[in-house]
């Protein structure tokens, strides 16, 4: 089945072929803006604001309609003859046209209504690509940056809950993978760092959990000027004090990490 793909370079899959060339940059951006909210009208003023980088010409209506006509022809070539619908004051993408990011949002939103174990199975089975890959054709457009940030927040929450679900199912490796995905989406989030550290210790990768702590501490100090949250620090210290680990194996790594942590201690670190 064909679909519009916004992860990676924007393209239109017809089911038998893939269209990557657009009549113009604005035609592509127009499709992106409509495809971000299929079934929801987007008014002409908002489209113009984004297509002309916040400075649309006074009489943009004719030019906008021209780009819409070009986009309609392209969509027709892909088999969707009525994909772009004119509504009062704007345009809307027919909700019957599949869009990859819309499917991803449905999966993530649906997982939030499930218990963590069931959420884990759902998210792991249909894991969306990283939010950073969304709208790669428009890396600096304001609407693309906003869409990536919104998706990152949703993915972070869903992946973190799924990570907890994997732990409750006893699947440490899956929990680690989901925890990494959560931290990848929001790398300054204490809850994500803690989720990944818990997953790693459950999977027997305590040394890796310590590395995650050290990396996270460096990152929040550099970017936010703060220390990791109390829960993250407590978990790290508790793991250091555990007596049921193979001290001979872990101790060298602990010492290296402690040296790293101590060497980075400055005025804000106490």
CATH of domain 100-269: 1.25.40.10
Structural domain spans, the chain: 3-93, 100-269
Cα three-residue angle 223-235-238, rounded to 5 degrees: 135
Compute the distance between CA of residue 176 and CA of residue 168 in angstroms, rounded to an integer.
Answer: 13
Task: State which CATH number among 1.20.59.10, 1.10.10.10, 1.10.3720.10, 3.40.50.150 fits the domain covering 3-93.
Answer: 1.10.10.10
**How far is it, in rounded angstroms, from Cα 197 to Cα 235?**
8
Q: Could you list the pLDDT tens digit for every one of the 270 residues in the chain?
A: 689 999 999 999 887 778 888 999 999 999 999 999 999 999 999 999 999 999 999 889 999 999 999 999 999 988 888 899 999 999 999 999 999 999 999 999 999 888 988 888 888 888 889 999 999 999 999 999 999 999 999 999 999 999 999 999 999 999 999 999 999 999 999 999 999 999 999 999 988 999 999 999 999 999 999 999 999 999 998 988 874 455 555 556 666 666 666 565 544 444
Chain-centroid distance of CA 161 in Å reads 15
């Amino acid at each position: 089945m064909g679909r519009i793909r916004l992860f990676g370079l924007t393209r239109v899959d017809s089911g038998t072929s893939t269209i990557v060339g657009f009549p113009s940059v604005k035609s592509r951006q127009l499709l992106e803006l409509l495809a971000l909210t299929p079934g929801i009208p987007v008014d002409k003023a908002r489209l113009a604001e984004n297509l002309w980088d916040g400075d649309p010409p006074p009489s943009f209506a004719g030019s906008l309609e021209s780009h819409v006509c070009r986009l309609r022809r392209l969509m027709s070539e892909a088999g969707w003859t009525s994909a772009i619908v004119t509504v009062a004051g704007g345009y809307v993408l027919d909700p019957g046209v599949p869009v990859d990011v819309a499917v991803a949002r449905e999966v993530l939103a649906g997982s939030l209504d499930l218990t963590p174990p069931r959420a884990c199975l759902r998210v792991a089975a249909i894991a969306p690509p990283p939010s950073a890959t969304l709208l790669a054709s428009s890396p600096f457009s304001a609407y693309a940056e906003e869409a990536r940030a919104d998706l990152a927040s949703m993915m972070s929450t869903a992946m973190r809950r799924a990570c907890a679900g994997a732990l409750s199912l006893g699947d440490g490796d899956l929990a680690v993978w989901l925890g990494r995905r959560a931290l990848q989406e929001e790398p300054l989030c204490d809850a994500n760092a803690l989720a990944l550290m818990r997953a790693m210790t459950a999977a027997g990768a305590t040394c890796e959990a310590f590395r995650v702590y050290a990396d996270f501490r460096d990152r929040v100090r550099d970017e936010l000027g703060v220390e990791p949250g109390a829960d993250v620090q407590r978990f790290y210290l508790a793991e250091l004090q555990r007596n049921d680990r193979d001290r001979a194996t872990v101790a060298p790594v602990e010492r290296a990490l402690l040296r790293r942590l101590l060497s980075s201690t400055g005025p804000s670190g106490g």
